[in-house]
Amino acid sequence: MAQSLALSFETVRRRVSRLALLGVLRSRSDGIWTSAALVDNPAHRRNVEAAYARLRDLYTRLSSLEELADLPMSEPWSGAPPLRAAARISGEYLLRLVDRLTALLHDPTDAAVWLEIVRSSTTLAPEDVAGPPALVRRPVARTLIARQLGLPSETVRRRIARLSALGACERSGAGLVVPNEVLQRADFAAVIDRNLTDLRRMFIGLAQLGALPAPAGVAAIAA
């Protein structure tokens, strides 16, 4: 885990110990296990259900832009949605994204802060705009980033200072943005291109599982 997340062994040991005390993980001599109490917890299930709904919504939005053509669709899953299988497939995608951004930004928390700046500062232009939806960036306040990530404001301030020193974001007025010039840099563009490949791989896995909304004329997945 330490190697995958580019963290020191001691940092991972402390975090695992804290998660074990919370009952989220079980640490044994042969490795770390997810707690059965967590998996069976109603709150956890609600989170997994919400994540599954967001996956399906993202698929619908990308499909409307013709970004996911020719997926190998299987028969829609019958009965209860395959929540755990979908969570595993999407989790693998997320870890690949974290790994790529960590290699670029040197720290997974810095990567999370950078992603939140991109997410919170980016909005879609109104639907009546001709052509593909345009991306509009507005400055996002540090306090909002901290609140969204559940991090102390001072921690976010230090992370933003490091990201700014790397040229990964910049201050605009009272907030922060990731300008187009950064996204067009060769190093960021390479990560974005690989992420698109990883995103498609994730949706291929979900399609083969039958976990995506059915095309027109095919019965929908049971809610």
Q: Are residues 73 and 135 in the same domain?
A: yes
Q: Are residues 24 and 87 in the same domain?
A: no
pLDDT in tens, 31-46: 888 877 777 788 888 9
pLDDT value of residue 163: 97
Q: Are residues 5 and 51 in the same domain?
A: no
Q: Is residue 222 situated within a structural domain?
A: no
Roughly what angle, to the nearest 10 degrees, separates helices 108-121 and 83-105?
100
Q: For residue 74, give the nearest of 66, 84, 65, 85 by alpha carbon.
A: 85
pLDDT value of residue 8: 85
pLDDT exceeds cutoff 50 at 209: yes
Range of the domain at 23: 1-40
Q: Are residues 79 and 151 in the same domain?
A: yes
- Contact of 24 with 38, CB cutoff 8 Å: yes
More confident residue, 200 or 219: 200
pLDDT exceeds cutoff 60 at 81: yes
Q: Are residues 54 and 20 in the same domain?
A: no
- H or E segment to which residue 123 belongs: strand 122-124
Can you tell me the mean pLDDT for 140-167? 95
Q: Are residues 117 and 24 in the same domain?
A: no
Q: Are residues 14 and 121 in the same domain?
A: no
pLDDT exceeds cutoff 60 at 179: yes
pLDDT value of residue 63: 85
Q: Are residues 149 and 50 in the same domain?
A: yes
Phi, psi of 207 (to 5 degrees): -65, -45
pLDDT value of residue 217: 38
CB contact burial 181-216 (16+ within 10 A = b; e otherwise): ebeeeeebeebeeeeeebbeebbbbbbebbbbeeee
Full-model pTM: 0.77
Name residue, tokens 């930004």. 105
Other Cβ atoms within 10 Å of 139 Cβ, number: 15
pLDDT cut 70: percent of the chain above it: 90
Q: Are residues 31 and 80 in the same domain?
A: no
**What domain count does the chain have?**
2
Other Cβ atoms within 10 Å of 25 Cβ, number: 18
Q: Are residues 79 and 103 in the same domain?
A: yes
Q: Is residue 150 situated within a structural domain?
A: yes
Q: Are residues 202 and 159 in the same domain?
A: yes
- Contact of 195 with 104, CB cutoff 8 Å: no
d(CA 197, CA 93): 10
